[in-house]
Amino acid sequence: MILLQNLYKDYQVNGKLVPALRGIDLSIEKGEIFGVIGHSGAGKSTLIRCINLLERPTSGSVVVDGVDLTALEDRKLQEQRRQIGMIFQHFNLLSSATVAENVAFPLKLAKRPKAEIERKVSELLSLVGLEGHRNKYPAQLSGGQKQRVGIARALANDPKVLLCDEATSALDPQITNSILALLRDINRKLGITIVLITHEMHVIRSICDGVGVIDGGRIVESGKVVDVFLKPQHPTTREFVEQVADSVELRETVAHEKSSGDRIIVRITFLGEQTYRPILFQTMMETGTSFNILQGTISRMKDTPYGQLVVELDGDAQQVNSTIEALRLRGLDVEVI
């Protein structure tokens, strides 16, 4: 659906080149929610703004739904941009226009007939849960409500892609969750591809299918959230995964236990249905190994439940090895730590 190929972007500041993107390659599937996570200055905003060419890349190509946007002349580009909606951290609403007028704005620009605009605005306000607020002005709304207007407006032209530029960074945690739930809902109902940027792992874990980690203008790790989250490879990815408290606790437990003796400690990861089955207990019964659970967590990544246990195995070397083997044969990921 979205292909970014060898994307570079340099800014000119006082005659000097500031490189913001240094060779980005990304492929985002139709209908997925893809998150790009990175620290401040890593290049997230530049990257997302290159997808609709709000920012023109210095080199490389941006292909959306089979069309190379970088090769289009202005008028064609305007048309293609209607396929791509965008929402912003600070909402960017017209303060002198009502909620309904804000949502109608892109439809008026596209010269849609009045009756269609009226129908579409009502439909969109109902989708984002703002039916009763159509005649209010942005200043009369909460942050979460303003973002809902932003979302309705971004969907006005039935785009295939929705870009979210730190869409929840200005909101408190509870409101953030309700906006994330709305984005998930829209993705499911409309099948729209969503690309978001964030510096919060919580956002990625809650709603994304795929993730790219950006650092110094490069994607240093990418893949399915489940894989990247449970087996982070790059130091920057590990830092972000640690933002989500349970993994920090696990790490601290392991460090503590490792230093207190010579033991076999393993981290066992359960995914999906495995999470709720007594695989560990059954395996230990069969191999006659005793075990001691040092730390454990069960959580959820979007729709996928997962569990991680840090377990001390007690038995002779052969028993321990056959236990690890048996757990792996049953599909669990076992890492000796």
Task: Name the residues that contact ligand ATP, by CB under 6 A.
Answer: 11, 13, 18, 20, 38, 40-46, 199
Q: Which is nearer to ligand ATP, 43 or 138 (CB)?
A: 43
Least distance CB 209 / ligand ATP (angstroms):
21
Least distance CB 49 / ligand ATP (angstroms):
8
Q: Which is nearer to ligand ATP, 38 or 150 (CB)?
A: 38
CA distance 210 to 208: 6
Q: Which is nearer to ligand ATP, 187 or 236 (CB)?
A: 236
Least distance CB 80 / ligand ATP (angstroms):
22
Least distance CB 167 / ligand ATP (angstroms):
13
Q: Which is nearer to ligand ATP, 51 or 280 (CB)?
A: 51
Least distance CB 45 / ligand ATP (angstroms):
3
Least distance CB 71 / ligand ATP (angstroms):
23
Q: Which is nearer to ligand ATP, 11 or 281 (CB)?
A: 11
